Structure 1
Amino acid sequence: MLNTHSLQISPEILRLIARIDEFKGAWRALGTLAPDRLSALRRIATIESIGSSTRIEGSKLSDRDVERLLSNLSIQSFDSRDEQEVAGYAELMDLVFSAWQDIPFNENHIKQLHQVLLKHSNKDSRHRGAYKTSSNSVAAFDLSGVQIGIVFETATPFDTPRLMAELIEWVNEERQKGELHPLLIIGIFAVVFLEIHPFQDGNGRLSRVLTTLLLMQAGYAYVPYSSLESVIELNKEAYYLALRQTQGTIRSESPNWNSWIVFFLRSLAEQVRRLEKKVERERIVLAALPPWSLSIVEFAKEHGRVTIGEMVRLTGASRNTLKQHFRNLTEAGHLEQLGSGRGAWYRLK
């Protein structure tokens, strides 16, 4: 079984846990935002999560590409491997968000979730939902999707079934005992899962979905509304470094849990900070904006981006009038402009 005695609960770990748990309680107590606002936040976070999580693994699709693909999911026909991976990840996230209370945390269900993840990936049809049969290792990719090196070696196919059974048993025992904080259990699960790397492909993406599932089952109900994956993507070098520093020691007498746990908790705290900022902006915007400016912000929230032309068609207002609203929103820090001239588009800042 896992040796967690070497985990040192530092003042920073305590502070980060307290910060995250404070927001968890505040989110529940406030009843927070109206359903349509929550729906818009969740859609944006889902697009960010899918885009970031697949790009961490080498995909080249932008968030805009992901949004376009999600709007056509019913087609069920995807030309590239990147598109196949996005489609599977989107279906898996939707499943977890809608059924998290009813998903037992055991090996069979983890294998079923892996099947959903790779559902559209033709290349992976042989090993969907089955543990690996040949050795694999964790590679790092640069921004253009080119592999830049091996991060660490993983468990052998022979050892994988035993190590996975031990890991799942440890998680469920610790959740039942209630002696170790849930965030520490989830963090340790994630790093050990990636150290085992139980499936031939999709381990990184699945680890992030399973992290979300465990967080929601532990009562962190705000998780669908702010993307943890995008936080990790922006700190990819630190992510790989923390993984490497901890994973090389997991099977030793004194594992170095702290490198990964600190990175994991910092990422969760940044996820909370981003959502706090969005919620605060919602309140300010809804209270103070003129009607057409409010329409612009709501459109950007729902679709991830907005153009002046789209708002002309939607509102019937003149282009010059709307340009002034866009200018005011940009100067006030609500919108960010990308591109210029007739090709300019805007997103929430």
Structure 2
Amino acid sequence: MTRAASAETVAACLRIEGTDFTAPEASRLMVKKTKLKTQAAEAAAGCADALDLIVKSYAVMPLTEDLLRELHRILFWHTTDGTVRGGDYKTGLDERAAPGSLFFETAPASQAPALTRELIATVNTLLTAQELHPLLTLAYFNAVFPAVSPFARGNGRLSQLMTVLIMLQQGYGWASAASLTRLMDNDKGRFITALRATQLTLTHPAPAWEPWFDFFTDSLTRQMLEVKDRLTLLGSAGTRLSPLADFILTQAQMKGSVTVRGLQHESRAVMATVRYHVAELVKKGLLIQCGAGPATRYSASHAAKTDTSV
């Protein structure tokens, strides 16, 4: 389950920054270590490396400026275009001008290092003092860090990776079992609206935290419920799923019902491979087949949903 969630997180991190990438593509890259032929694949490989390090070593990764810059450096390990040096603060480039950027405004390059250090110090203080719930402290970080955007590129990816790191460090182990980033990306309209509503007030004496905090905690709740559903379903089936099969099942859970053609389009896997995994999930009782022929739809066996959109 962790591998599938990691692939979903990697793909969603890229999509949040405006790059089209799917979880099956990320999974194949992570498992087969395929040759990196595109800039998107290079970005995905770096994101996967950083996420893998976090999941394996979060207990010995103190939240510091050096750690932040090291993770950013890893994000760009595989990048060959030479336009960005991982770990270096921006020197004038502004991510708000990037296509698909979620950030309406970012700090000037001259202020980015100091603001980053201030943010890290504040988060550490809040986590240590425990005067604010750690998940609200995490929500605070997720609102302020994109507004600072200390690096020329990769701030969206880094923000999401830091979310996983802090959650694991605070004892929320299910952070690596279901992708919070995917849930946010799937609700991108609310994501952008809530983030901007709060970011517009960050310089006010009393910032409006409620829009972003509400969206963030709602996403966390959906993540927790998804983990619970997956554990129940997989536990009753007594089986482990491949990344593609897990992706298919997740799509069925989220959308109510799916078609083979829709799954093939979303996953970009070979049609025959998708058909095979769907058939296996039906045999295992994890999917329910509805209808026959090209119009056949499949729903998760535990879900009583009526939404038939794909």
Give TM-score, length-normalised by structure 2.
0.79
What is the match of residue 53 of structure 2? 95
CA contact (8 A) 2:14 2:43 kept: yes
State how far apart, in whole Å, the 2-side matches of 1:212 and 1:347 are.
30
Report the residue type matching 1:224 in the other structure. Answer: S
1:282-321 matches, within 5 Å, as 282-286=234-238, 298-299=241-242, 304=247
Q: 1:62 is matched with which residue: 16, 19, 22?
A: 22
CA contact (8 A) 1:304 1:347 kept: no
Report the residue type matching 1:251 in the other structure. Answer: T
Q: CA RMSD in A?
A: 3.4
What's the CA shift for 1:123? Answer: 2.7
Report the residue type matching 1:193 in the other structure. Answer: F
Report the residue type matching 2:48 in the other structure. Answer: A
Aligned pair count reads: 279
CA contact (8 A) 1:137 1:152 kept: no
CA contact (8 A) 1:137 1:150 kept: no
What's the CA shift for 1:336? Answer: 7.5
State how far apart, in whole Å, the 1-side matches of 2:210 and 2:137 are.
13
What is the match of residue 12 of structure 1? none
What's the CA shift for 1:310? Answer: 7.3
What is the match of residue 195 of structure 1? 147
1:1-349 matches, within 5 Å, as 41-73=1-33, 75=34, 77-124=35-82, 126-138=84-96, 147=99, 151-286=103-238, 298-299=241-242, 304=247, 327=282, 334=287
State how far apart, in whole Å, the 1-side matches of 2:229 and 2:136 are.
25
Report the residue type matching 2:287 in the other structure. Answer: H
State how far apart, in whole Å, the 1-side matches of 2:287 and 2:272 are.
19
CA contact (8 A) 1:111 1:129 kept: yes
What is the match of residue 290 of structure 1? none
Report the residue type matching 1:242 in the other structure. Answer: A
Report the residue type matching 1:226 in the other structure. Answer: A
Post-superposition CA distance 1:135-189 (Å, at most 9, x none): 414368xxxxxx4677411100011111111111111111111111101111101
Report the residue type matching 2:24 in the other structure. Answer: R
**SS across alignment from 1:138:** helix
Post-superposition CA distance 1:278-312 (Å, at most 9, x none): 011123223xxxxxxx6xx745777756999879x
Give TM-score, length-normalised by structure 1.
0.71
Report the residue type matching 2:122 in the other structure. Answer: W
What's the CA shift for 1:125? Answer: 5.9
Instruction: Tell which has more relative contact order, 1 or 2 (C-alpha 8 A, sep 6+).
Output: 1
What's the CA shift for 1:348? Answer: 7.0
- Residue 334 and residue 179 in structure 1: after superposition, are their counterparts in 2 closer, same or farther (change >3 A)? same
Gaps of 5+ in 1: 1-40, 141-146, 287-293, 314-321
If you compute each CA radius of gyration, which structure gives the higher value, 1 or 2? 1
- Residue 302 and residue 161 in structure 1: after superposition, are their counterparts in 2 closer, same or farther (change >3 A)? same
Post-superposition CA distance 1:56-75 (Å, at most 9, x none): 212222222222222222x5
State how far apart, in whole Å, the 2-side matches of 1:182 and 1:336 are.
42
Report the residue type matching 1:45 in the other structure. Answer: A
CA contact (8 A) 2:201 2:208 kept: yes
- Residue 44 and residue 133 in structure 1: after superposition, are their counterparts in 2 closer, same or farther (change >3 A)? same
- Residue 244 and residue 42 in structure 1: after superposition, are their counterparts in 2 closer, same or farther (change >3 A)? same
CA contact (8 A) 2:95 2:101 kept: no
Report the residue type matching 2:224 in the other structure. Answer: V
State how far apart, in whole Å, the 2-side matches of 1:216 and 1:150 are.
25
**SS across alignment from 2:131:** coil
State how far apart, in whole Å, the 2-side matches of 1:103 and 1:281 are.
33
CA contact (8 A) 1:43 1:302 kept: no
What's the CA shift for 1:199? Answer: 0.5
- Residue 301 and residue 153 in structure 1: after superposition, are their counterparts in 2 closer, same or farther (change >3 A)? closer
State how far apart, in whole Å, the 2-side matches of 1:177 and 1:204 are.
27
State how far apart, in whole Å, the 2-side matches of 1:270 and 1:87 are.
27
